[in-house]
Amino acid sequence: FQEISRHVRQLLGTEEPLFNRSIALPYRDNMGLFLERKSLSGKKADALTFSQFIQEAGLEPHATVPTLQQTQARAEADALLVSQGTQTQD
């Protein structure tokens, strides 16, 4: 079951909900928070839409926290640009 959950999170681009998460870290991504709310059963959870959740929670519509993979990819791309920039300056 955990393996399936991990693959679903990868497909959706959401991060794993860690219970020992530091409050110093940025907020979790909107989709992860929404799916956590939708995981509850009942009419209210079934009727909840993503835009309604964003509005009720007072979140920014497009605010997402990049996943670790996205952060690493950006760092690699930045390092490549820096190395290319130093090569052209020589």
The domain locations on the chain are 1-82
Q: What is the pLDDT of residues 19-56, one digit of tens each?
A: 787 878 777 778 888 888 888 888 998 999 988 998 88
Contact in structure between 28 and 17 (CB atoms under 8 Å): yes
**Mean pLDDT, the chain, integer:** 76
Q: What is the pLDDT of residue 10?
A: 84
From residue 58, alpha-carbon distances to 14, 27, 38 in Å are 19, 13, 17
At 52-89, the pLDDT tens digits run 998 888 887 765 555 555 656 666 666 666 666 655 44
> Which residue stretches of the chain are H helix?
2-12, 30-38, 43-47, 50-57, 68-89
pLDDT the model gives residue 32 = 81
